[in-house]
Chain A
Amino acid sequence: MNHAYDVSHFLAGLMLVASFALLYQDRVLAVLRTFALQAIILSLAVAWEAWAQDRPHLFITAALALGLKGIIIPLALHRMIARLGIHRDVEKVVGVGFTMLIGLGLTALSLLLILKATAAAPALAREGLAIALAIILLGLLMMITRRNAVTQIIGFMSIENGLILGATGARGMPLVVEISVAFSVLIALFVFAVFVFRIRERFDTVDVEALEQVRGDK
């Protein structure tokens, strides 16, 4: 049990590091690569859970995470960026240092929150949930503090990564939910792809700031 915990803790910790790495980047292509890395680590973590919890259907989830989010989606976004000539730089609302500090605060907050609330749950679930919530909050932070539409997509996808991590930690969550999560990721990507196209039609940039002519008080 301890061995199993160590490995899953290791992989979850690496995912958390990847979330921070996502916040650190200032070029869109680097963000894509880091996201692919996070997806690969996620698939490893899920595969390990599949082996350690003796639930072979989780291997399918791991394969989906690897295939979809680790390979197909980054490639698709890469192609889109190249074709549409999207800005390669990520403009930030707040500086990197400050964002990282907020990220550290959010991580500490989520750890404290989950640890307090899950006193009775098994160790693996607690640890998985705590890190999952941290990854979710970091993904939210990324969506808020980056101006580029593509990075907002990636931020949302990293939120879903965190959710899958949390779901695998919770013992026995059925396959249906996991496939649905993957499926909805696909839909989300479709939606986003359509949007990025339309945004590109209307503006010459995928800078979300350019979208802000319409405010809510008409």
Chain B
Amino acid sequence: MAETFIALMAQGAQMLLVLLVAPALAGLTRMVKARLMRRQGPPLMQGYRDLLKLVRKEAVVADNASWLFRASPYVIFALTWVAAALVPTFASGLMFNWAADVVALVAIAGAARALLALAGMDIGTSFGGLGSSREMMISSLAEPAMLLVVLTMALVAGTTRLPAVADFFIAQPLAIRVSLALAFVSLVIVALAENARIPVDNPATHLELTMVHEAMVLEYSGRHLAMIEAAGQLKMVLYISLMVCLFVPYGMAPADAGVAAWVLGGAFYVGKLAVAAAALGVWEVSIAKMRVFRVSEFLGVAFIFAFLAILLSFLTQEVLH
């Protein structure tokens, strides 16, 4: 009984952790970018303040908006939060880990994206349609690459359940694996595309014609916008957690460790998130945004890398066994 309670608390703690850390992560990236450009930039906590501000504001909705427009933000937020909460962060044996299957997570994220695209088209503005169609083009190229990465992990680790994959890699001796390296690069490219980061999309742009993600949410305001912003930040946490869990899971507490191990695992996890966010900031400052037509080539590279990762891991397995 006490054990179930502790397990439930642990899972709840993970859910809260990802929720609370999301705006800070986005803020960290913003701060790193600003400091690198020799600006002061908004402080780290600004993300929380922005969300609070938005929640308190009135939500202005267009006359011809349907129920979809009003319901989407909440559903999208819920889906993304569920997906982010399922990825193992500080421990790999939490209560709902039977549900933490990578393919399921990809599907959930896909559902959220589809809803967002629909909501973008709902009002009928041209920019909304522009953003939705671009988003769909990008995701139609990114999804296959993502699934191939998942397949690589499944081939190497023998399972698609994230906690099992994490445990598998923690138990492995340190080794150079080129297929994992290629899968990692592919996942990074996919993550950049899905999270609307440079070079695929500029999150800070004000020019509608260059927008992809922002164009879809142009019509949102108030609490709806707060939900969507939070969902976007959670999506970034989701992808970074995924990368961390799949490729650098060291420091994660095993299934039945005590609270102390969990706290330590949590500290490791937050540290890795911070490193990733800072690296993202550095990256965004160094690279220019691509033309939309080149994005397909860029994602094609991700696909090729993921495919090569599979071929090479297949080769290794055949040759060594």
Contact = CB atoms under 8 A, between A and B. Distances in A.
B316 A9 contact: yes
Interface stretch (B100-108, B173-181, B241-249): B173-181
A38 interface: no
Interface stretch (A11-19, A71-79, A140-148, A193-201): A11-19
A97 to B, nearest CB: 6
Nearest to B177: A6
Contacts of A16: 308, 312
A107 B311 contact: yes
The CB with the most chain A CB atoms within 10 A, among B175, B177, B300, B311, is that of B311
B283 interface: no
B185 to A, nearest CB: 9
B301 interface: yes
Given A5-B320, A107-B308, A10 B177 contact: yes
Interface stretch (A51-59, A122-130, A182-190): A122-130
A20 B304 contact: yes
B311 to A, nearest CB: 6
B179 A111 contact: no
A9 B320 CA distance: 11
A171 to B, nearest CB: 15
Contacts of B320: 2, 5, 123
Contact of B319 (A100, A103, A104, A123): A123
B316 A127 contact: yes
B315 interface: yes
Given A16-B308, A96-B300, A3 B179 contact: no
Contact of A13 (B179, B307, B314): B179
A6 B175 contact: yes
B305 interface: yes
A130 B320 CA distance: 14
A38 to B, nearest CB: 15
B226 interface: no
A36 to B, nearest CB: 20
A14 B178 contact: yes
Interface of A: 2-3, 5-7, 9-10, 12-14, 16-17, 20, 24, 96-97, 100, 103-104, 107-108, 111, 115, 123, 126-127, 130-131
Interface of B: 175-179, 181-182, 296-297, 300-301, 304-305, 307-308, 311-312, 314-316, 318-320
Q: Which 3 A-B pairs have the closest CB atoms?
A: A13-B178, A10-B178, A123-B319
